[in-house]
């Protein structure tokens, strides 16, 4: 007990350094995880095929992923085709007057769009530009 009383300030400083180190390492790891995710996304996109179609937006299609956006378009001689579309930090949405980062909350089911993006190996589309 005497040791604790005599070295209380030193113990508090050591405890503070430990807490600071833990917080710093957590923040550093979060940045590293984000960089790895971006790097992984860029690798996926680098092997993707260019995609450009006009169609309409849909969501909550029975039999497909719920709460997921899809581009519907009519292929020549076929019925409607649905492509899952995904947005990332580089996806841009264009209206008549503005181009800005896509806000999925502003998209409307049935909205006519022109979508440019990259089709990845699972068949989904990563949006590069979405005009409406």
Give the pLDDT band (50/70/90) at residue 52.
very high
Element (H, E) at 112: strand 112-119
Question: Do the bridges between strand 92-94 and strand 80-86 make them parallel or antiparallel, or are there none, so unpaired?
Answer: unpaired
- What is d(CA 102, CA 128) in angstroms, rounded to the nearest whole number? 10
Model's pTM, two decimal places? 0.65
Q: What CATH number should be reported for the domain whose range is 49-131?
A: 2.40.50.430
Tell which wins on pLDDT, 32 or 20: 20
Identify which of 108, 110, 60 has the alpha carbon closest to the alpha carbon of residue 84.
Answer: 60
Size (the chain), residues: 132
Tell me which H or E stretch contains 25. helix 8-46
Q: How confident is the model at residue 85 (pLDDT cuts 50, 70, 90)?
A: very high
**pLDDT value for 47:** 66
């Amino acid at each position: 007990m005497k040791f604790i009383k005599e070295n209380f300030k030193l113990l508090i400083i050591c405890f503070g350094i430990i807490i600071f180190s833990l917080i710093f390492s957590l923040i550093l790891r979060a940045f590293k995880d984000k960089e790895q995710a971006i790097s992984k996304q860029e690798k996926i996109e680098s092997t993707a095929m260019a995609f450009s179609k006009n169609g309409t937006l849909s969501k909550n299609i029975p039999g497909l992923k719920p709460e997921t956006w899809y581009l519907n378009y009519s292929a020549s001689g076929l019925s409607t085709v649905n492509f899952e579309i995904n947005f990332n930090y580089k996806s841009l949405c264009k209206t008549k007057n503005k181009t800005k980062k896509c806000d999925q909350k502003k998209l409307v089911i049935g909205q006519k769009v022109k979508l440019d993006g990259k089709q990845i190996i699972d068949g989904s589309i990563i949006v590069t530009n979405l005009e409406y």
